[in-house]
Amino acid sequence: MLLVFARGRSDDLIGLIKRVNDEIYRKPLSEARAFVVFLEEPTAGARDALAAIAKEHGLEVPLTLNEHGPKNPPRYAIPAEARATVIAYEERRVKRRFDLRAGEIDEKSIAAMAEAARALRGGS
């Protein structure tokens, strides 16, 4: 499972989410799954915006809103400066974790996250 926490809807974050979607849903080798939690107020407007993003980019990965709004969800210890936190886990054990600040969401970090996704599925 890949769990992504996102702050904002910038192009670099959408690019990361598209890569998660491609790694998990476009090349399925097992039962690996993912979902994205946006750390913002759970309003109707925000839900509509996420639905529009999913439709525009053909995303299968679920895009959700944090029930606590922009506050960090309990037990995940997401750094305040992180634009995205990606947690790869299997059988309730964290295998890899990426806390990405502004400017750190690039091809190198996305490739490392994609490799973690492939490892979860036992892929190559």
- Extract the residue ranges of the chain whose pLDDT is less than 70: 27-31, 121-124
The per-residue pLDDT for range 8-27, each reduced to its tens digit, is 999 999 999 998 888 888 76
pTM for the predicted model, two decimal places: 0.90
For residue 114, the model assigns a pLDDT of 84
For residue 30, the model assigns a pLDDT of 57
Task: Tell me, letter by letter, the H, E, C secondary structure of 39-100.
Answer: CCCCCHHHHHHHHHHHHHHCCCCCEEECCCCCCCCCCCCCCCCEEEEEEEEECCEEEEEEEE
- Expressed in angstroms, the distance from the first to the final Cα of the chain is 16
